[in-house]
Amino acid sequence: MNPLTGPRAVAALTWNEAAARIGEDAILLQPMGSIEQHGPHLPLATDQLIATGVADAVMEEFGDARDVWLLPPLVYTKSNEHAWAPGTVWLSDATMRSVIDDIARSVTTLRARKLVFLNGHGGNSSLLAVACREAHLDHGLLTFLTHPYVAADQGGGSPPEELGMGIHGGLDETSMLLHLHPDLVDMALAARSVPESLAPHRHVRFGGPVSFGWSSRDLSPGGVIGDPVGATAERGKALFEAAVAFLGEALAEIAAFELPEAPR
């Protein structure tokens, strides 16, 4: 589904069509990715391609049933952990927060009360969690944050060969791109780069209870944090289908969701 012209694309409607067709029970879906380095073997748009790919499939399979409407994707986001790499385009945290607040304020002109951020870039997650609460408090929306998959540094899984630290340009992301856009992947340049010195740590490590500030350059000279060498399109297809199925279930719960004491 084209996010600008598809049958459930908000941007394809006139203003009076949007007012008439997007009802109180509708869900607004905001895909978000990034433009940032993903090592020498993946394109800058990796996170964006995954987020929009999953959003397209979710809309095709569940859009009508869940009354979901697709907002245009947000491409530039908070990616300054990769700011050292040519081609990375990023927003500051203050700009990003303002953009999210402006989006939330703008969609209140519609009757829809539920706004879902589908975030393909882990560097956005903490900021988006704050933004969801603020958008609810400031604009009265029911806001939700979900991901095509949860990265290892945020409590998700990571293949054993990545020692729990495959968070960027590794096995799973590379596999997803091999499934979605194999023409944009150069496996001849894929190389393992796992911060093995962190592996023995019980607490201060990716996915551990003690987080730490970092730049990708701190952890990998080529920008990869993981092991993409064994990536396959078959693995990517399974990951992609699991993401779509998960989001379909999540949207069913979101459609029925109400805060226990939510004001009307």
Domain regions of the chain by residue span: 10-256
CB hemisphere CA count around 261 (13 angstroms):
0
Q: Which CATH code for domain 10-256?
A: 3.40.50.10310
pLDDT-derived band at 164, boundaries 50, 70, 90: confident
Instruction: Identify the residue with better confidence: 247 or 158.
Output: 247
Per-residue confidence (pLDDT) for residue 151, from 0 to 100: 75
Could you report the per-residue pLDDT of 98-107, keeping only the tens digit for each? 999 999 999 9
Mention every residue, 6+ apart, whose C-beta is less than 8 A from residue 226. Answer: 158, 162, 165, 166, 167, 168, 169, 170, 171, 172, 173, 192, 193, 194
* 8 A C-beta contact, residue 39 and residue 82: no
Query: Measured between alpha carbons, how far is 190 from 174 in angstroms, rounded to an integer?
Result: 9
| Summary mean pLDDT of the chain | 94
Could you report the per-residue pLDDT of 23-82, keeping only the tens digit for each? 999 999 999 999 999 999 999 999 999 999 999 999 999 999 999 999 999 999 999 999
- pTM: predicted TM-score of the whole model, two decimal places: 0.94
